[in-house]
Amino acid sequence: MTNIQDSEAVRQKIRDGYGEIARSGSGCCGSRSSSCGTSPVASDQLAKHIGYSHQELAALPEGSNLGLSCGNPNALASLQPGEVVLDLGSGAGFDAFIAGRAVGAGGQVIGVDMTPDMITRARQNIAVYRQKSGLDNVEFRLGEIERLPVADASVDVVLSNCVINLSPNKPAVWREISRVLKPGGRVAVSDLALLQPLPSEIAQMVKALVGCVAGAVPLSETQRMATDAGLSDIVLNKRPAYVDSMVDWQDPLYQKIIGALPAGAKASDYVTSLEVTARKPAKACCGPSCCEGNKE
């Protein structure tokens, strides 16, 4: 059972860390300082490395890409015009603004983040997004991803980019994803996952937690949580090259992690970027007429 006091302490550490990122405009996966910090150029390099196009990045409001991605859930989602999209842990609006262009004027994108400074920064970016795109279809709500401020069965697609692993109550997040999805709705998540247990020194690093590493869980646990939440067609795709690329760029967080690894080991031996896709069944079996046909 999750300890409530411990969970709140973890959330506050993350909120404080990401609040600092929002105020400074620099992310934790960068190369400029020994604390969190990444330049706009480094943030764009990272985004291009994991599949975002030059056109997508050029169309974003300045300052919405903080270098916090570990994958490209927009590409996984194959968004269609008119869809309602929910972005969990939306930060400064990076994936939300890209999704907004994909779903167009008939669609809607809702970003949820628990950090007030991130919500403020994202909302400030909306005016530039409207001016560049001609669209008014993106909003940001303050809230926790374990208790989403979103109605039941109201969303076509749930996106998330390197956020779920930060939650101290991941099963609740997956249950919330299932709750807000419409029947037949789909999930496109990029996250970090463990290939083997982290050395204890790394697991205790607060910066590693804020940097999305210490909160990661094994792939099998992600599969189980999504299944227990009632999702189906679950596919997990490992992308360890992301972690290796951060090491190649001499990222200070990952350099610190490497220093705590056993001799000869590398970060991607322990951690991988993970793509997760899934669906909410189009029709749940919730009554005698439905379940009757499923009896043997």
Q: Tell me the pLDDT of the chain averaged across its residues.
A: 82
Which two tokens mark 165? Answer: 């692993």
pLDDT surpassing 50 at residue 134: yes
CA–CA distance, 146 with 167 (Å, rounded to integer): 8
- CB-CB contact of 165 with 89 (8 Å): no
- The pLDDT, as a whole number, for residue 288 is 43
Contact present, 96 and 158 (Cβ < 8 Å)? no
Distances (CA, A) of 257 to 172, 244, 264: 29, 12, 13
How far is residue 182's CA from residue 176's CA, in Å, rounded to a whole number?
Answer: 12
Alpha-carbon distance values, 20 to 100, 123, 131, 259 (Å): 26, 17, 28, 25
Whether 23 has a pLDDT exceeding 60, the answer reads yes
Cα–chain-centroid distance for residue 43?
16
Structure tokens at 31: 């190369």
Give, in order, the Cα–Cα distances in Å from 78 to each of 58, 188, 248: 20, 9, 30
- Spatial distance between the Cα atoms of 149 and 211, rounded to a whole number of angstroms: 25
CA distance 89 to 98: 15
64 close to 95: Cβ distance less than 8 angstroms: no
Phi, psi (deg, nearest 5) at residue 193? -135, 160
Q: Which of 52-56, 97-101, 204-208 has the lowest mean pLDDT?
A: 204-208
* Exposed/middle/buried for residue 6 (C-beta within 10 Å: 0-12, 13-18, 19+): exposed
In tens, the pLDDT along 234-283 reads 999 998 877 776 655 555 666 677 777 888 887 788 888 899 999 999 97
**For residues 122-142, average pLDDT:** 96
Which of the four pLDDT bands, split at 50, 70 and 90, describes residue 290? very low
Check whether 95 has a pLDDT greater than 70.
yes
Percent of the chain, pLDDT > 90?
A: 48
DSSP-derived secondary structure letter, 279: E
Instruction: Provide the CA 98 distance to its chain's centre, in angstroms.
Output: 14
User: pLDDT exceeding 70 applies to what percent of the chain?
Assistant: 75
Task: Dig out the tokens for 17 from the structure.
Answer: 């860390």
Confidence of residue 207 (pLDDT cuts 50, 70, 90): low
The answer for residues whose C-beta is within 8 angstroms of residue 224's C-beta and 6 or more apart is: none
pLDDT digits (tens, 9 = 90+) for 137-191: 999 999 999 999 999 999 999 999 989 988 989 999 999 999 999 999 999 999 9
Q: Amino acid letter at 50?
A: I
Enter the pTM of the model.
0.83
- pLDDT on residue 245: 67
What pLDDT shows up at residue 3? Answer: 57
pLDDT band at 40 (very low <50, low <70, confident <90, very high): low
Q: Which two tokens stand for residue 106?
A: 């008939």
Token pair of 153, please? 């069965």
CB 123 within 8 A of CB 96: no
- pLDDT for 11 equals 73
Count each helix (H run) and each strand (E run) in the chain, helices first: 13, 8
Lowest-pLDDT range of 122-126, 183-187, 203-207, 255-259:
203-207
Domains of the chain: 4-281 (3.40.50.150)
| CB contact set of 4 (below 8 Å; sequence gap of 6+) | none
pLDDT > 80? residue 125:
yes
Spatial contact of 161 and 69, defined as CB atoms under 8 Å apart: yes
